Structure 1
Amino acid sequence: MQETHPHVGHAAPFDGQALGLARSAIREGRMGMTDTMKVGWAGIGKMGAPMSRRVLEHGHSLTVYEPLPENRAFIVGLGANVAHSLADLAASSDVIVLTIPNDAILRQLTLVPDALGDVMQAGQILVEMSTVSPEISAEIAAVLEPKGVAYIRAPVSGSTVTAASGGLSVMVSGQEDAYRRITPLLESVSAKQFYVGQGEEARYLKLVVNAMVGATAALLGEALTLGLKGNLSVETMLSVICESAVASPLIAYKRDLLVKRNFDPAFSVSQMMKDFDLILDTAKSDHVPMYLASMIRQQYEAAFAEGLAEKDFFVLFEQYERLAGIAPEMRPDTEPKIGTRKTG
C-alpha cells in the first residue's frame, strides 16, 4: 500500500509538565554536551516523541517529518521545525532518525520514488531505530551505501518510560566511523550503546532480545498460575522470584503491573504479535527451527482473539488464570478464603 503521506507514528499524549521542564532546560542551557548536530526525525509516536524531546534538550537542532499535526504538536511546541516533505527533511539535516511502527511504513519512507533513498546525499547518515526485519534493512543499505550515505541500524530496548528518562539501550550496527560520529546523538536518547557489527547484526540482536521478552511473559504467566493453585499470592511469588536465580530487570519492572493487574500497555499484545512475526519470518528465511517461539506466537493470537490486543503483553497471565479455572474471587491475594481451595 502506498500513501502520499505515510502515517509514521502513533499519537503520543500531550504532557504539559514535560513541555515546561524541557523549555526550561533549553532556556537555561542545560544541554549536557557540546557536540551538536542538525537532526531530522520521522516518526513522532509513542517512542519517537520522548526520544526526540531528549534530542532537543541536549542542544541539537531538530526538524521533524510527521504528517499528523496531533502527533507533532508536542515537539513543535518545544522548538522543533517542521518538514513538509522528505526532501525538506533531508535538506535540513546532517543525520535523519526514523522511529516507525513496521516494515511497510519504513519502505514508504526509504525505498519508493522521492523517498529518503532518492533525496539523501553523500555524507549524510540515516539512523533507523525501529524494530524491523533484517530483510528490509538490507534493502535500504543496498540503496544508500553506494550513494555514500551511511546507514546505521540502531534498534532500542526499553519502554516509553525509559525513553523519557534516557534509559534506553541501543544496539548498533553499520559503518563504525559513522557510529562514532553519531555517538553524542545516541547518548542523548540512551544510557547504553552496544556496537555489534557492520551489517544487520543489530537487527538480529533486537529480535533475539524480543524473543526472550515475549517468552518471559508467557512462561511467567504459566508459572504464576501454577503457584496460585498452591495458595501462593502473586506478590509473594514475585518477591521471591525477584531475589532468585531467575530474577530479571523485566520481571522487576512488570512486578507492580502483575500484582495490581493493571495491564495498561507499555508494550501491547498487538505489538508483540508483530515482533514475533518478524522473529518467525526471519527464522524461516534462515532455516532456524523455533518451536517455542511458534507456540508463544499462538498464545498472543489467542489473547488478541479475546479482545486484549491493546493490553500490555503481560496480560497473558490473566489468560492462563482463566484457562486454569481461577476466578477473581479465588485468588489468594484478593480473598482470604484460601484454606478451602483444593490444591491437588
Structure 2
Amino acid sequence: MSSIAFIGLGIMGSPMAVHLVRAGHSVAGYNRSPAKAKALAEAGGRVAASIADAVTGAEVVALMVPDSPDVRDVLTGDDGVFAHAAPGTLIIDFSSIRPDVTRELAEEAGRRGLRYLDAPVSGGEAGARNAALSIMVGGDGDAFEAAEPIFDAVGKTVVHVGPSGAGQTVKAANQLIVAANIEALAEAVVFLRAYGVDLEAALEVLGGGLAGSAVLAQKQANMLNHSFEPGFRIALHHKDMGIVTSAAREAGVVLPLGALVAQLVAAANANGDGGLDHSALLRGVERLSGTS
C-alpha cells in the first residue's frame, strides 16, 4: 500500500481519492476549496492544509485539476509538488491537458529525479464514483507498472498507450469522439420530437442497433428529462476541444467534423451553458431550431 497525496478533490477527484482510501492506501488530499475534502475525511483520509503538507513524505502524488495552467501551477509553483516531492516520487496526472505541456512537465520531473505519468481518464462522474474509469497512460513502462495498484483502485480499463504525452493525445481523441456523439444524439432527439415520435421508445430501439453507444446509454436520460446536472461540464469539454483542434493543427491533420463540433461546444459555453453537463449540447440544437 502507498502513501498518496491527492491534489484536486472536485467531481472526479473526490470519489477517486475515496476509492484509494478504501483500497487500503494512506491518502492526504488537498483542494483549494476545503469543503470539497469532506468525503475524503469521512472515508478516513487526511485533509492536508497545503500542497506541501500533502506531498511531504508521499510516495505517490496524484493530480486531478481542470487545465494545463492548473497542472503547471500545482507542480512548479513555489509551494508546489516539484519543490517538496522526494526523488523517486511517482507523479500521476489524471487531468486532461495539452500533450506538449505534459511532455515539458515530464522532462522537468525527470531532471528532478521524479517519475511522471500522464493518465487522463474517461467515464465522467459515474465512472469515478463506480471505480470504472477508462485510463489512458503515457510515460515510462516501469513507472506504469509501479502505478498499477493505484489505477486498479479507480479504473476498469487501464492501458499504457506510449511515452509521455501519449495519454493526453488519446484523451483528446476520446473527447472528439464523445463530443461528436453527444451532438449527434442531441440532433436526433430534436428531430424525433419534431415528428411527435415516442422519444423514449425511439431511443430504446436505437440503442439496440448500430446507433447504440455508451453516450446514448448514459446521456439519453439527461435529454429525455432536460436535466443537466454536471457529470462533465461543457466548459471543460470546450477546453478539451481546444486541445484537439490545436494539436491537430500542429500535426497538419484536418478534422472537419471536429472543427464544427468544437464551434458548437464553444457556442454552448458562450450562451451560458458552461456549468451544465455536456449533454446540454441539446440546448444548442434547440436554440438553432427555435424550439428552446
Could you say whether these structures have the same fold, taking a TM-score greater than 0.5 normalized by the shorter chain as the test? Answer: yes
> What is the CA–CA distance in structure 1 between the aligned matches of 2:36 and 2:158, rounded to whole Å?
27
Correspondence 1:89 to 2:50: no
1:58 aligns with 2:58: no
What are the within-5 Å matches in structure 2 for residues 299-338 of structure 1?
299-326=264-291
Q: Secondary structure at the match of 2:159?
A: strand
1:307 counterpart SS class:
helix
2: CA distance between counterparts of 1:138 and 1:51?
A: 24
Q: 1:254 aligns with which of 216, 219, 222?
A: 219
Whole-angstrom distance in 1 between the partners of 2:260 and 2:47: 44
* Alpha-carbon distance between aligned partners in 2 of 1:49 and 1:226, rounded to the nearest angstrom: 38
Question: What residue number does 1:284 align with?
Answer: 249
1:268 paired to 2:238: no
Q: Secondary structure at the match of 2:28?
A: strand
In 2, Cα distance between the equivalents of 1:263 and 1:308? 10
Q: Is 1:108 aligned to residue 73 of structure 2?
A: yes
Deviations 1:251-299 (A, max 9, x none): 1111222222222221122121111111112222222222222221221
SS in 2 for 1:239: helix
Q: CA deviation at 1:114?
A: 4.3
Match of 1:78 in 2: 43
Amino acid at match of 1:228: R
SS of the residue corresponding to residue 209 of structure 2 reads coil
Give the equivalent residue in structure 2 for 1:39: 4
For structure 1, which runs of at least 5 residues remain unmatched after alignment? 1-35, 328-344
Query: Against the structure 1 CA distance between its residues 323 and 88, is the aligned structure 2 distance closer, same or farther, given a 3 Å change threshold?
Result: closer
DSSP-derived class of the 1:127 partner: strand
| Contact 1:122/1:147 (8 A) holds in 2 | yes
Q: 2 CA distance for matches of 1:209 and 1:54?
A: 24
Match status 1:244 vs 2:232: no
SS at match of 2:273: coil
Query: Where does 1:155-166 land on structure 2 (aligned, <5 Å)?
Result: 155-166=120-131
Determine the structure 2 residue equivalent to 1:209: 174
Q: Are the aligned partners of 2:30 and 2:54 in contact in 1 as well (CA < 8 Å)?
A: yes
AA partner of residue 27 (structure 2): L
For 1:305 and 1:113, how far apart are their aligned partners in 2? 34
SS at match of 1:207: helix
What is the CA-CA distance between 1:159 and the residue it aligns to?
1.6
* Contact 1:169–1:192 under 8 Å retained in 2: yes
Question: Once the two structures are superposed, what CA deviation does each residue of 1:293-344 show, in whole Å capped at 9, x if it has no partner?
Answer: 22212212322333322222222223323432447xxxxxxxxxxxxxxxxx
Q: Distance in 2 between matches of 1:227 and 1:69?
A: 45
Could you report, residue by residue, the CA deviation over 1:69-112 in whole angstroms, capped at 9, with x for unpaired residues?
Answer: 21223312332223334333332210100000111111111123
Change (3 A) 1:67 1:311: closer
Given candidates 82, 86, 90, the residue that maps to 1:125 is 90
Separation in 1, partners of 2:189, 2:152: 37
How many angstroms apart in 2 are the aligned matches of 1:59 and 1:161?
Answer: 22
> Percent identity at matched positions?
26
Cα offset for 1:66? 2.2
Q: Is the 8 A contact 2:102 2:164 kept in 1?
A: no
One-letter amino acid matched to 1:128? D
Structure 1 residues 108-117 or 96-105, which shifts more? 108-117
Given that 2:186 and 2:223 are in contact with CA atoms closer than 8 Å, whether structure 1 keeps it comes out as: no
Q: 1:264 to 1:89 in 2, by over 3 A?
A: closer
Q: Contact (CA 8 Å) 2:264, 2:284: kept in 1 or not?
A: no
Kindly indicate whether the alpha-carbon contact (under 8 Å) linking 1:234 and 1:258 is maintained by their aligned counterparts in 2: no
Q: Structure 2 counterpart of 1:182, which letter?
A: A
Q: How many residues align?
A: 292
* 230 and 138 in structure 1: CA distance in 2 versus 1, 3 angstrom threshold: same
8 Å contact kept, 2:248–2:255? yes
Q: 1:288 is paired with a residue of what secondary structure?
A: coil
